[in-house]
Chain A
């Protein structure tokens, strides 16, 4: 069968940032198929030039509203690496709580508010109000609030954290506050299981699609890696020294996108919840394992749509992990000490963390006054753009006989599955500093 298709989705909805899908088919033959990023470029690496070491986290946090905690942490890790600052164990655990909180907030926002409408066959979550599914929506809202309250407590604010500073925390939560949070997390765990059931019931609406690709993420012997770990690939295992990240995250420019693309051994690779799951699923906490089993999610899963399920699994894991973190903090007793003292010096540092959408790198060089002279950030969504494009190229022939609106919806769902964060990915500027 041969037909003509013209799909031009300007500004895909229910994703963060501005991206377009263009598909031109003439007589059954694909003439043009592009995943375009039209977001205005934002030049963050240039903006930090000449800035003092303690200002960088403030600026780079603003790369992205959804993963501002992740950017802050990558930024702090890079700065602390460059200035040889050792953080305390307490700071390490609190930062893990921060990263868990953000992962939870971002994942539940994505699965609950942005993806769920596709599964229910509606345009947004708003029609759920007053419908038979209102209860499910309220449960999702409750989990979202739980995640945000956790960020508020640990970071001072959910979006653009305040308490995360070089060398530690400006204020630490009290034991009473943490115990209260623990109670809420335990309660949230029950709600999450209920939400998982709801998703399970409609998960048949995820398209059946697979494409073999490479998955990259942090890995660690200690735990399901988020804050600390080594970079690893499902193709090649652990990769060399973290400071050589450029050798395996090759970025390149494409003319139809203000965001760069990236590749490693193959044409493209994927980062994010599914990549982390594929690399580290054995280290998931027990209830998270159960939820993965419930959806038959097993490594290595090559279906990008299952990224949504991996996010749900991680959400459960983050709650379980946070409860463990709180137990440890309370056991040791919270020390309300100020952040460790910092004396500026020249140096180069790289900070790598896992953020909701995948592996994030901040790379700074400081002069002897602690002023930034050079910076580079590698954003998860950038690393996924090429993989999205490659998925589309395999996916379109598979669905080409469906009606246009279904093709369009399927392609949008594919993009959405990656949970792209386009503001992040257009932060880019590749400047040479003087």
Chain B
């Protein structure tokens, strides 16, 4: 029996679901091993009868919470798809201002009081609202990792998501270290699985897969000094995808 699979999206750019379209010919393989019963972006049909739910996007409004809780109830396995879902990602940048302040700034005095569409609170990752069984990190997700998770779930095994930093993959790709180029890179403390794609294209890691370890402050300061970087650069970088984590420091 093919597992029934549904895709849902909340606040996001929908770029992670696009990666499924980007599987190209392999989409045919995908639908040969799972039964896609809901995927609004590409199909009209919808069913609430599914075992695995893939969720893209962050949670921003009470109405999103209700919808997400329903999905959680329907799904046996819930997978967070992409940075917005797994860690809140870019959407969390706005959490540095209180929700009410942002709302007032956004809509001014417009009468939106009872309008549920506009009722935004501080951005939440999926696991801040419901339990998440598996995480597919990244902004956007890595297609190979998506395939690995889908095949693992279909075979009934636990997906293997690296628990080591991007540096491992960056070294395997034989990249010149971004620090050597004088750029602050979050690779040493960000979870791998992306194939170190950003440093490989000569752009420092922004930490979109989430921070996996917190280095000692003294050590960070040493590194900044060694490579002639400022604390501001570190702060700015870590506020891109990992705002709330940074704020907790």
Contacts and interface: CB of A to CB of B under 8 A. Distances in A.
Nearest to B38: A13
A interface majority secondary structure: loop
A58 B206 contact: yes
Contact of A129 (B10, B21, B31, B106): B31
Given A65-B16, A170-B202, A171-B202, A13 B44 contact: yes
Contacts of B206: 58
B248 interface: no
Contact of A46 (B28, B102, B201, B236): B102
A145 B64 contact: no
Contacts of B118: 41, 258
Given A46-B105, A157-B197, A40 B13 contact: no
A165 interface: yes
A170 B201 contact: yes
Interface string A142-184: 1011001000000011111011010000110000000000000
Given A62-B90, A141-B24, A162-B197, A39 B15 contact: no
Contact of B90 (A59, A124, A125): A59
A42 interface: yes
How big is chain B's contact interface, by range? Answer: 35 or more
A138 B197 contact: no
Contact of A66 (B18, B36, B60, B91): B18
A389 to B, nearest CB: 16
A257 B60 CA distance: 16
Interface string A215-253: 000000000000000000000000000000000000001
A36 B217 CA distance: 49
A327 to B, nearest CB: 25
Interface string B197-209: 1101111001000
Interface stretch (A109-117, A189-197, A205-213, A291-299): A109-117
B110 interface: yes
A145 B198 CA distance: 21
Contacts of B17: 65
A36 B12 CA distance: 18
Interface string B1-28: 0000000011111111111011011011
18 contacts: A14-B41, A17-B14, A18-B9, A40-B61, A40-B64, A41-B106, A47-B93, A62-B15, A109-B18, A145-B25, A157-B201, A159-B19, A170-B202, A258-B117, A258-B118, A423-B12, A429-B105, A431-B105
Q: Which 8 A-B pairs have the closest CB atoms?
A: A65-B15, A124-B43, A156-B201, A123-B44, A170-B202, A162-B201, A65-B13, A47-B93
